[in-house]
Amino acid sequence: MPSEPFYDPAKSYLDNFERGPFGLFANTSPTSQTTEPKHEFLGHPVFAPFGIPAGPLINGKFVKAALDMGFDIPVYKTVRTKKYACHPWPNVLAVKVEGDLAPDRTLVANEDYSEPLSITNSFGVPSYDPEFWQRDMADAAAYARPGQVVVGSFQGTLPENGRVADYLADFVLGARLVKETGVPVIEVNLSCPNEGTANLLCFDIQRSRQVVEAIKDEIGGVPLVIKMAFYKDEKKLEEFLREVGKTVDGIAAINTISAEILDADGKQALPGEGRLRSGVCGSSVKWAGVAMASKLARIRGELGQTFTIMGVGGVGSAAAFDEYRRAGADVVMSATAAMWHPDLAREIKEQAHEL
């Protein structure tokens, strides 16, 4: 049976932020390492190419606990250049999916977090003010021991005036603020809404290129990872990589798969405008994450590019870790399963064959 999750869905985002993490993450001590780091992540040695992606590690306390539990590449949850409110509670609900989740499904949500575990999460990318998160992120990054790397994630915010120049400027400012924390790797979230030709920035190829190039101009030699959604069209993905792949140092994929989320009575499960649809993650999206890792690896080779592939989605076992590694992922990450299985990193280090 799953453990008590380190992020408690029954509590508000604020309660989790102030009182969490919970379960085994509440009282941690550093995992002892008996060997030297034998893997590499964007120029940094790591014990295992495994971590937790942007999402459940909502502040430095969560990041430090993840490091203690042996997740050697934790990502500090996505921040913004100014304070940004969280969607109303609930933000996480369980959804039951038979097999693989196809895009554009309608699912019924409840609070049964039994396996096979998939959840919908709807937070709206909340953020505290930089005055708080810069200090907190810097402290978390400094906590990492040799063989561990903290990644700082951020995204731009659409300005009320809708001006593209201001949108780009916000990405540049965000990159500058994250760089000032001293994190060794920076991630930008491109799997978020924009004012371009599609509802996710990563599907707006030319806008993505503008954003990525502006960020790299700002951060210089600090490695840059981009967070992407699932690309069904392989030709479009190749077009994206031709424009962006040579500039970035890493690609993290996938984020979630969107679905319509209802309650048992057939009503919208998550309260508030614009929340009928929400992203689903967990075991039911593993197929998409593995497929994306395979596509990225194939196209990377054909184009002669060198970015690191970070495979995300449905990783709940050493076998799933191995599957991602065989598909071409250089690094593997787990969010949903890790929340309920805080010993997952230790399990993978003991059982995975592709380490």
- Kindly report the CATH number assigned to the domain that includes residue 21: 3.20.20.70
pLDDT at residue 104, as a whole number: 85
The identity of residue 200, as a single letter, is L
How many Å is the Cα radius of gyration of the chain? Answer: 19
Per-residue model confidence (pLDDT) at position 2: 63
Residue 137 CA, distance from chain mean position: 16
Terminal alpha carbon distance of the chain: 26
Question: Rounded CA gap, 22 and 33, in Å?
Answer: 24
| Interstrand relation of 118-121 and 277-282 (parallel, antiparallel or unpaired) | antiparallel
Find out whether 156 and 167 touch, Cβ atoms under 8 Å: yes
Residue type, 205: I
CB 152 within 8 A of CB 39: no
- Cα separation, 339 vs 52, in Å, equals 9
Amino acid sitting at position 234:
E
User: What domain count does the chain have?
Assistant: 1
Q: How far apart are CA 45 and CA 257, in angstroms?
A: 32
* Domain of 161, in residue numbers: 13-351
Is residue 2 included in any domain, yes or no?
no
Domain assignment present for 97: yes
Alpha-carbon gap, residue 202 to 281, rounded angstroms: 18
**Could you give the CA distance from residue 103 to residue 92 in angstroms, rounded to a whole number?**
19
The tens digit of pLDDT for each residue in 178-211 reads 999 999 999 999 997 654 444 799 999 999 999 9
- For residue 6, tell me if it sits in a domain: no
Let me know if residue 3 belongs to a domain: no
CA atoms within 13 A on the CB side of 212: 28
How high is the pLDDT of residue 258?
A: 92
The candidate with the shortest Cα–Cα distance to 316, out of 348, 355, 291, 293, is: 348
Q: Quickly list DSSP for 268-310.
A: BSS-STT-SEEEEEEGGGHHHHHHHHHHHHHHHHHHT--PEEE
pLDDT of residue 195: 44
Please answer whether residues 215 and 178 qualify as being in contact, where contact means their C-beta atoms are separated by less than 8 angstroms: no
Low-confidence ranges of the chain (pLDDT < 70): 1-2, 193-198
pLDDT of res. 196: 42
Domain assignment present for 32: yes
Whole-number Å distance between alpha carbons of 61 and 57: 8
Pairing of strands 185-189, 151-154: parallel
Q: For residue 8, is it within any domain?
A: no
Query: At residue 281, what are phi and psi to the nearest 5 degrees?
Result: -135, 170
Structure tokens belonging to residue 200: 């996710």
In 181-335, which ranges are E strands?
185-189, 224-228, 250-253, 257-262, 277-282, 308-312, 331-333
pLDDT at 192: 77
Q: What are phi and psi of 97, to 5 degrees?
A: -125, 130
Residue at 4 is within a domain: no
Confidence (pLDDT) at 197: 44
- The answer as to whether 343 is a domain residue is yes
Nearby residues of 145 by Cβ (< 8 Å), 6 or more positions away: 30, 67
